[in-house]
Amino acid sequence: MSVAGGPLLEGAENGEKNLERAWPDGLSMADRVLWDTLPSDRRDAAMRRLTAILDYEDRTDDTPDLAACAKAAGVAKVTFYQLLAAWRRHRSIAVVVPFGRSMTPQGARIANLREVRTAIGRLLAENPEHSDEAIARMAKRTLSDGPGITTLRKLVRERRIEEKRDLSAFGTALLIDHVATDMRLAMDGRSEQAVACLVVDAGTGLILGGRCGPWDDQWAIRLLSVIAARDLLEGGGAEAGSTRAGLETTIVVGPGFDPKERIADEALAETPIAEVIAEGDRRFGARVLRILGRRIGHIRLLPRLTAKGEAPTTAFATRQAVATRPKSLEEADAHFGAEIARHNAALLGPESLPKLAAEHASRAGALLQVLDELQAYWRGVYENR
């Protein structure tokens, strides 16, 4: 991309060079994990922002001004001012990811972080059955100087994820499911619930791919989620295997599918590729909740909204305390992608996806093999509708 005044961006091929430019001593482990797990479109957007920030900070009299850098970053001038301020406070990948500032580590500005985390760990060990809220309130009473309840609750959740992390099950089970979220979409003068499709490594809880959109476009949303999942694995060094042996795949037939789409899905049940769940109330999202819980980062999952296999009404959605400010489809999808990356970064911890894929190469290959088969099959059905 270029603007008047000279080229600002050289494209994705300069990604690693610009990361080295921003962090000469190398990325922190948290930033590397976050970068490795971003979907390619989010990574491209983050790189545009990062490069524009670096160009602005390195500017001379002959280089582009703030307006040109904001344009190159793909944001308004006021947003670019905010990005610069956030960058100067906390030089992190999370700052430049669209909707990523909520991904900044909770402990980034807590002076006594070690003491806080030690207290949370002790309270969890002593009270494992208590809710995140209860542990956070106990920590608040215990600590003489600590963050607020909201931050404590997030730290408790992160600690629980760390303790439950078992990456050895990577590549043993794959789930593709749909679930309503607490986001609303602004669609042609009306608003409707955002329904997500998630491609989940069920053994670990890693979200390999996920997109959100309206109820009546879930076939396309699912196809995009599968493409995102295979791109993430391939970008992590996985190579498609010659067999899917050892991988259990479960597919929940999506909501809002027309008869032809349902027949195409049900035909998969006759193949060895996957188990297909096509009937039953409350099937949408039930399996996702058992693996991921009720939230992906800051986004709530609300399977009750689609429990009966019908599009949720506005009145019912409102009764479920759904966030009321509608987002554009682009905003919602960007927000969802950022929260998925945050979720994955918390699960991976000091690991990286390429390392995980290398350690379990045959399983990663089986995952990629199944996703390739599903992508080819569903794309063919979608293009011939």
Are 49 and 75 contacting, i.e. CB atoms less than 8 angstroms apart? yes
Specify whether the CB–CB gap between 125 and 113 falls below 8 A. no
268 and 323 in a single domain? The answer is yes
Give every CB contact of residue 151 below 8 A, 6+ residues apart in sequence.
106, 110
> H or E element: which one contains 275?
strand 275-277
- If asked whether residues 294 and 346 sit together in one domain, one would say yes
- Could you tell me if 366 and 262 lie in one domain? yes
Residue 80 shares a structural domain with residue 132: no
135, 123 in Cβ contact below 8 A? yes
- 2-3 and 6-7: which strand pairing? antiparallel
Choose the final residue of a domain: 52, 76, 101: 101
Residues contacting 307, CB < 8 A, separation 6+: 281, 282, 284
Domain that holds residue 121: 107-164
Residues 113 and 136 placed together within one structural domain of the fold: yes
323 in the same domain as 282: yes
Give the chain's length.
385
pLDDT band (50, 70, 90) for residue 218: confident
One domain, residues 313 and 377: yes
b/e burial code for range 27-59 (CB count within 10 A of at least 16 → b): beebbbbbbbbbbeebbbbbbbbbbbbbbbeee
Q: What is the DSSP string of 307-352?
A: TTSSPPPHHHHHHTT---S-B-HHHHHHHHHHHHHHHHHHHHTT--
pLDDT at 62: 65
Q: What is the average pLDDT value for the chain, to the nearest integer?
A: 79
Q: How many CB atoms lie within 10 A of CB 181?
A: 26
Strand bridging mode 248-252 / 173-187: parallel
Whole-angstrom Cα distance, residue 170 to residue 41?
Answer: 24
Q: Is pLDDT of 322 > 60?
A: no
pLDDT in tens, 30-82: 677 677 767 777 788 889 999 999 988 887 766 668 888 888 888 888 888 88
Are 184 and 328 part of one and the same domain?
yes
Q: How many domains does the chain have?
A: 3
Domain boundary among 101, 120, 138: 101
> Each residue of 77-125: pLDDT tens digit?
888 888 888 888 778 887 888 765 544 444 445 667 778 888 998 999 8
In degrees to the nearest 10, what's the CA dihedral of 339, 343, 344, 346? 130
Chain segment 137-184, per-residue pLDDT in tens = 999 998 887 788 888 887 887 777 667 667 888 999 999 999 989 888
Taking the C-alpha atoms of residue 18 and residue 99, their distance in angstroms, rounded to an integer, is: 21
Per-residue pLDDT, 182: 87
Summarised one tens digit per residue, pLDDT across range 359-376 is 999 999 999 999 999 998
Residues 274, 209: one domain?
yes
333 and 216 co-located in one domain: yes
- Does residue 346 share a domain with residue 269? yes
Same domain as 67, residue 192: no
Closest CA to 35 of 103, 107, 83: 103
Domain edge (last residue) among 148, 164, 180 = 164
Instruction: For residues 231 and 186, give the distance between their C-alpha atoms in angstroms, rounded to a whole number.
Output: 29
